[in-house]
Copies of this chain bind each other. A is one copy, B any other.
Amino acid sequence: MKPKAVLIVCDGLADRPVKELEGRTPLEAVDKSSMDELAKLGVNGIMDVISPGIPPGSDTAHLALFGYDPFQVYRGRGALEALGGGFPVKPGDVAFRVNFATVDEDMTVLDRRAGRIRTELAAQLAPQLQNLSLPEYPDVKVSFLHTTEHRGALILRGEGLSRNVTDSDPGRTSSKVLEVKATDQSPEALKTAGILNRLTKKIHQILREHPLNRELAEKGAKPANCVLFRGAGILPPITPMTRLFNVKAACIAVTALVRGVSAAAGMELLNVEGATGTLETDVIAKAKKLVENFQNFDFFFLHVKGADNASHDGNLEGKMAMVKKLDSMVKFLLNNLNLEETVIALTSDHTTPLSMRNHSGDPVPLTIAGWGVLADDVNQFSEKACAKGGLGRIRGKDLMPILMNLVGRLKKFGV
């Protein structure tokens, strides 16, 4: 049997020097013996997930990590978000990330997340948005998908649509909901913008009359009386990595956008009880799911979001706790997988410095250990230590060929 490959991506884990840690990064400051053990066993390096200096998004980063050139294949966020939320997006569909939001009578945005409306409340609103056919556009099917809290997706299906349209989401409060505009003068873009502007009005009419919103308003809570569209996207024109490398692949992730990229790449999406995409997520449950399914797949993508959330919030303590938690997950995997029949890669999809509270384009550390690997003498998994390793500095899109080569899944180019 061929060895299997496991790719562990700790979202936003890499960092810059932190003042409170006397210039160390969280990875340098936290005692994390299992991650360091993996680095000791393996070959290490740093990786420009997109290209040097370019801050990756979650979508472009994962496209690169799965072996694609995001500059060539990225077609916006919307379709990936919808796919990750479970909607069977088809080629030609144009999809949008959607927020439930609170607006006043003037359509000025008061809260872009409708007070972070609870999932079960938003779920009561969603059924009203299932039949959004527009008489002006009889050939276009409109689908609304609610995922978690204020989040959802909108999918347009029909002839002559385009993703070349702007967002209705102004990106901040005290601004009016924006009119969607075509970014080129094609009939397709003009038509798509027209549909969205009609939908903004129609959905507002439906939601403001909804009994739940009246109830919320009476209680002094923020009603979810509007939706905001952003991130128009179509499916990326990619051949599934499962076909490119002839592997059965599993994705263990919660974040809809990341699940969407995984689905587009041909992976099967596994669900894990207790995995939440937050700092409270049950990382051992995720690792257990992988171990339980070890015989059923050739490649596993295991994604943990928490560290990124902590960095976005400037939450140093939370990030350090997350490093500890991730270390326990690596420990579980080291105890339950056999490195003589497995290659494990440990990395991050991008750096999210606590000091920036946003993604940066700094390279991320990378460890590859297990079957066929020529270990170097690095003995710590950190931004600095990995930079001295035997992998040197690679690009994100080269990681998958490197892993697939190690497990013997690549064909010779030439003879």
Residues of A near any B CB (own CB < 8 A):
16-17, 25, 46, 50-61, 70, 74, 77, 231, 257, 353, 355-356, 358-362, 372-374, 376, 383-384, 387-388, 390-395, 398, 400-406, 408, 410-415
Contact = CB atoms under 8 A, between A and B. Distances in A.
A412 B56 contact: yes
A23 to B, nearest CB: 8
B355 A412 contact: no
Contacts of A17: 372-374
Contacts of A374: 16-17, 25, 362, 383-384
A414 B60 contact: yes
Nearest to A389: B387
Contacts of A57: 412-415
A66 to B, nearest CB: 13
The CB with the most chain B CB atoms within 10 A, among A60, A77, A402, is that of A402
Given A257-B415, A361-B402, A413-B50, A372 B393 contact: no
Nearest to A397: B52
B402 A392 contact: no
Given A58-B415, A374-B16, A413-B57, A401 B51 contact: yes
Contacts of A70: 413-414
Nearest to A81: B415
A314 to B, nearest CB: 15
A360 B56 CA distance: 30
A406 B353 CA distance: 11
16 contacts: A53-B400, A53-B401, A53-B403, A55-B410, A55-B413, A56-B413, A56-B414, A57-B412, A57-B413, A70-B414, A257-B415, A358-B412, A360-B405, A361-B401, A361-B405, A361-B410
Contacts of A59: 414-415
Contacts of A412: 55-57, 358-359
Contacts of A400: 53
Contact of A54 (B257, B376, B405): B405
B58 A398 contact: no
Contacts of A360: 405, 408
Contact of A410 (B53, B257, B392, B403): B53
A59 to B, nearest CB: 4
B402 A52 contact: yes
The CB with the most chain B CB atoms within 10 A, among A55, A359, A376, A415, is that of A415
A338 to B, nearest CB: 15
Given A16-B374, A387-B390, A387-B392, A58 B414 contact: yes
A55 B415 contact: no
A391 B52 CA distance: 10
